[in-house]
Amino acid sequence: MTGTRRAFLRAGLRTGALVALGGVACDSDHPRAGFLGLMERVNERFQRALYDPGRLAPELAEGDESAPGDFPQYRIGSDYPAAPEGWALRVGGLVAHPVVLSADALQRLPRTRTRVRHHCVEGWSAVASWDGVRVSELARLVAPDRRVRYVEFRSFEPGYYSSWDLESAVHPQTILAYGMNGQPLAREYGAPLRVYSAVKLGYKMVKWVTEVTFLPVRTGGYWEDRGYEWFAGV
């Protein structure tokens, strides 16, 4: 994110905070209703206007990688889930050629590596290298209908998913990763497959992925349904 964009978004958030403190009510059971919902919609319009699908985040050097253990691990359940026997990735939705890909089939697709700074909504950042296949490559395989506007990533961890705008999902630095720092992806970081991207905050990057669905309508997400911003651009 450029300094100008950060300043612009910070100004919008400050304005929202001042109005909220002025007594505008928010229904915590419906986080997208009322004033806060309005502010998110305004913020999303700003982010979409500023988003450039051709802009790449700086790729960093191997020496910039965070030390082992300095890249935090997160889960939503009581433990990190293990892949079910016979795991495969299903890619479908409003597409011409839905596919089911085993781990071996995924690794036969064109492989890419990205090493960019990861940004968490909690304020920390870290660097790792990620190996995998671009979501745009999957889109090429399945041929989405022209009405598709969104992509949903769903985990085999029950209830864990996130939907993205199509432009961010097919960005060159958005991948489905099966490797981290030159090693097979560990379960704690989302094995056998997780989303990784330079253009979204960390909570949008679904781990333990088992389905990718191209959709004409927007859905939600595990964190988004709990009030986190839907677009969440970096």
Evaluate whether 169 touches 64 at the Cβ level (below 8 Å).
no
pLDDT in tens, 77-123: 999 999 999 999 999 999 999 999 999 999 999 999 999 999 998 88
Q: How confident is the model at residue 154 (pLDDT cuts 50, 70, 90)?
A: very high
- So what's the architecture of 59-226 in CATH? Alpha-Beta Complex (3.90)
pLDDT at 165: 96
Mean pLDDT of 172-195: 97
pLDDT tens for each residue of 220-232: 999 999 999 999 9
Q: What is the pLDDT of residues 16-34, one digit of tens each?
A: 433 333 333 344 455 555 5
pLDDT on residue 44: 67
Residue 1 has pLDDT above 60, yes or no: no
Residue boundaries of the structural domains of the chain: 1-50, 59-226
Q: Average pLDDT in the 168-174 region?
A: 97
Residue 3 has pLDDT above 90, yes or no: no
Give the closest residue to 95 by CA, choosing from 152, 151, 142, 154: 142
The span from the CA of 77 to the CA of 21, in Å, is 34
**What's the mean pLDDT in 133-157?**
98
